[in-house]
Amino acid sequence: MIPNQAILINAIVLREAKDSSEIENIITTQDRLYRALASSSGSVVDAATKEVVLYREALRFGERLIGERGLLSVNDICRIQATIVGNDAGIRKTPGTALVNDATGETIYTPPQDPKILTRLMANFTEYLNNRASSLTDMAVLHYQFESIHPFHDGNGRTGRILNILFLILKGFLDIPILYLSSEIIGRKVEYYRLLNAVTVSEQWERWILFILEATELTARRTIDQVKLIKDSLDETIERVRSKAKRIYSKELVESLYVHPYCKVGFLIDSLGVERKAASRYLRQLEELGIVKGYKIGRENLFVNNALMEILSRA
C-alpha cells in the first residue's frame, strides 16, 4: 500500500521499540523518542529514550543479519542483546540469577545456572529456529524456550520480543519488521506472564500457544488499519501540497515528512538533494499551510508532521 517502506519501518518499529521497553518499565513518550532521533543535541535524550533507540537499532541489526545470511546464530543473538543493553557480557557465566516478584520478594523461576548448559540450550534453540520451525505455533514455543533459558543477565525480555519479529521475517511471514507485537503483550501483561509461568509449572502449552496466536492476529489486524490511516494521510497531504504549493511540490518532499515525523532541514538536504536555503524555505511554506509545526529544540528547528503524529499516538 505504501511504496516507500521507510515510512512504515520508522513509524511502526519505533512504536514496537517503545512498548517492548515499557514492558520492562523503561518509560519514554513517543514525542521524546522522535525528537531524540531528529535532534543533533544529546541534551534531549534521556536514559529511557536512549534505551528505546537502542532497541530499534538491535531490531534493524537483526533484520540485516537475516538478510545477509538467512539465519541467526547464537553469536548473532548475543550481538543483538549487546546492542540493546550496551555491553558485550554475553551469555551468563556466574550463578545466582532468578526471577523474583518485586512486590513479595518470592522467587518465581530459577533458570539454568551452568554456563555449559546455557550454551547447549542456546545451540538447541538456534538449531530449531533455523532448521525446523516454520509456523506461528513454533514461534510461541521458541518464545517460551528463550525466556525459560534466560541466557543473559539483562535484556532477555526485549531480546525475546525482537526474536519474535525476526522469526516472522526469517520464515517469510513478513518482508519488513512492521508487526507491532508488543502492543498486545503490554495490554495483557499480567496474562502474558501468568501463562508463561503456567507452562513451566504445569505444562499448559495449549493456552500459551493460543495466547501468542491470538496476539499475533490482533496485532496484524491493527497494524493493517494503521497502515491504511498512514496511507490516507499521506495521499491527502500530497494532494494538499500539490494544489496549495505547486512551486515546491514533489512527492519526495511529502514522503520525507512521513519518513521523519520530526523533520529538519538536514533531512530534506539529504533526501531531495537541495541546498540548505531551499530546504528551509520548503519547511517554512509547509508550516504556513499547517502541514507541519515548527519547534526550537536547542539550536535546531524541528518541524512536526501533526497528522502523522496523531495517528502514531493512538493506542
Strands 292-297 and 262-263, by their bridges, are: unpaired
pLDDT at 207: 97
Question: Does the pLDDT of residue 283 top 80, yes or no?
Answer: yes
pLDDT at 27: 59
pLDDT at 66: 96
Question: Does the pLDDT of residue 25 top 80, yes or no?
Answer: no
Q: What is the pTM of this model?
A: 0.86
Question: Does the pLDDT of residue 10 top 80, yes or no?
Answer: no
CATH 1.10.3290.10 residue ranges for the chain? 7-223
> CA–CA separation, 242 vs 92, rounded Å?
57
Question: Does the pLDDT of residue 177 top 70, yes or no?
Answer: yes
Question: Does the pLDDT of residue 103 top 80, yes or no?
Answer: no
pLDDT at 138: 98
Print burial letters for 66-79: b (CB count within 10 Å at least 16), e (below 16): beeeeebebebbbb
> CA–CA separation, 18 vs 27, rounded Å?
8
Question: Does the pLDDT of residue 11 top 90, yes or no?
Answer: no
HSE-CB at 241 with a 13 A cutoff on CA atoms is 24
Higher pLDDT, 304 or 126: 126
pLDDT at 40: 60
Nearest Cα to Cα of residue 142 among 119, 120, 165: 165
The label of the residue with cell 530459577 reads 110
pLDDT at 113: 94
Nearest Cα to Cα of residue 232 among 145, 307, 128, 146: 307
- We find that the CATH architecture of domain 7-223 is Orthogonal Bundle (1.10)
Confidence of residue 205 (pLDDT cuts 50, 70, 90): very high
CATH 1.10.10.10 residue ranges for the chain? 225-312
CATH number of 225-312: 1.10.10.10, 2.30.110.10, 3.40.50.300, 3.40.605.10? 1.10.10.10
Higher pLDDT, 7 or 207: 207
Percentage of the chain exceeding pLDDT 90: 60
Q: Is the dihedral of CA 255, 259, 262, 264 positive or negative?
A: negative
Confidence of residue 142 (pLDDT cuts 50, 70, 90): very high
Per-residue pLDDT reduced to its tens digit, 54-99: 888 898 999 999 999 999 999 999 999 999 998 999 999 998 888 8
> How many Å is the maximal CA-CA distance in the chain?
68
pLDDT at 39: 62
Confidence of residue 101 (pLDDT cuts 50, 70, 90): confident
Question: Does the pLDDT of residue 43 top 90, yes or no?
Answer: no
> CA–CA separation, 23 vs 189, rounded Å?
8
Question: Does the pLDDT of residue 149 top 60, yes or no?
Answer: yes
Question: Does the pLDDT of residue 53 top 90, yes or no?
Answer: no
8 Å CB contact between 301 and 264: yes
Question: Does the pLDDT of residue 42 top 70, yes or no?
Answer: no
Question: Does the pLDDT of residue 44 top 60, yes or no?
Answer: no
